[in-house]
Structure formats: C-alpha cells, structure tokens
C-alpha cells in the first residue's frame, strides 16, 4: 500500500528509507527501541553506552563491577 510516499507492508511502515516495525525504528542500520539506540552492537541508553558488557558513563568505564576512571 502506497500513501504519499509511505509504504505499508504487513504492519511494516517504510517512510523515506525509515522502517517502522512494531514500534521499532530502523534508520540506516541504527535501531531505536523505546528510547534505546542500537548501533553496530553498541547500545546507547540515556547517554550511557554499553559495548560488549562494558559500560561507559561520562568518561567512567565499568567492566565486571570494576570501575575505571581516566
């Protein structure tokens, strides 16, 4: 179904290259879910970055309960 450049296919909505699926938004490989952003396996939540179990918060790094501060 095409409506003004918007494409609806089985509950999936395509708008200008942006894909909406069940509240999940895909934009150029970036996934937005409920304010959480996934980019190449990296998760951003409210300024907090999670990479492979490592958490970065304002220059502070948390690894397995250990805190590293530059």
pTM summary value: 0.35
Q: Which DSSP letter does residue 32 get?
A: E
> Per-domain residue ranges for the chain?
1-69
Rounded to whole angstroms, the Cα distance separating 2 from 13 reads 10
> pLDDT tens digits for 29-67?
666 666 666 666 666 666 666 666 666 666 666 666 665
| Gap between the Cα atoms of 38 and 5, Å rounded | 26
């Amino acid at each position: 179904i095409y409506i003004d450049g918007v494409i609806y296919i089985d509950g999936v909505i395509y708008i200008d290259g942006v894909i909406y699926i069940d509240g999940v938004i895909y934009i150029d490989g970036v996934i937005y879910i409920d304010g959480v952003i996934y980019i190449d396996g990296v998760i951003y939540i409210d300024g907090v970055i999670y990479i492979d179990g490592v958490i970065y918060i304002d220059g502070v790094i948390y690894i397995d309960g250990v805190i590293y501060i530059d």
